């Protein structure tokens, strides 16, 4: 399964700790979407990240290929129990991303991926801790400067940004 990582899952060290068997595929963009924070995350003490349809915008991220063991670990972390389970904290869907800098030596291409996004409950700005990890990951993955600037400017709970 191909997984589109964004937000804090961009940080290679954090992601590798959770999904050690994952295979890195490359940098990708999800067209016509933007980040938003429709729920509260106890782990981050602030908004949980989701995806909103937004014509003309892009969410940049990183694609991994997950083996079954890593998929179980990811779903446990994301709090996804299965299709239609009311305990799910996230929605699971598929989407098409544009793989722009594949690390597997192939040419750029469109790729169907699995996405997880926070289920809407009570929206809140993300915490400064969340933003720090997301920005660190975006820098590590050398995402486009304009996207990085947009991410850095994300308002956080308490009013401060990086």
What residues are annotated to the active site?
Answer: 78
Cβ within 8 Å of residue 36, ≥6 positions away: 49, 50, 51, 52, 123
Q: Which of 127, 116, 125 has its CA nearest to residue 50?
A: 116
Based on its alpha-carbon atoms, the radius of gyration of the chain, rounded to whole angstroms, reads 15
Distance of CA 77 to the CA centre of its chain: 13
Q: Which two tokens stand for residue 57?
A: 């915008």
Cβ within 8 Å of residue 161, ≥6 positions away: 128, 131, 152, 153, 154, 155
**How many CB atoms are closer than 10 A to CB 88?**
17
- CA–CA dist 67, 19 (Å, integer): 9
């Amino acid at each position: 399964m191909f997984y589109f990582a964004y937000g804090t899952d961009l940080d290679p060290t954090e992601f590798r700790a959770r999904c050690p068997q994952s295979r890195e595929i490359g940098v990708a963009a999800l067209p016509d979407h933007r980040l938003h924070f429709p729920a509260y995350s106890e782990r981050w003490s602030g908004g949980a990240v989701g995806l909103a349809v937004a014509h003309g915008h892009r969410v940049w991220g990183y694609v991994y290929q997950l083996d079954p063991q890593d998929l179980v670990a990811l779903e446990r972390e994301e709090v996804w129990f299965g299709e239609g389970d009311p305990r799910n904290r996230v929605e699971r869907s598929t989407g098409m991303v544009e793989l722009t800098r594949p690390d597997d030596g192939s040419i750029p291409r469109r790729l169907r991926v699995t996405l997880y996004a926070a289920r809407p409950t009570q929206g809140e700005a993300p915490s400064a801790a969340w933003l720090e990890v997301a920005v660190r990951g975006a820098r590590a993955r050398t995402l486009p400067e304009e996207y990085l600037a947009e991410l850095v400017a994300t308002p956080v709970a308490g009013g401060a940004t990086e």
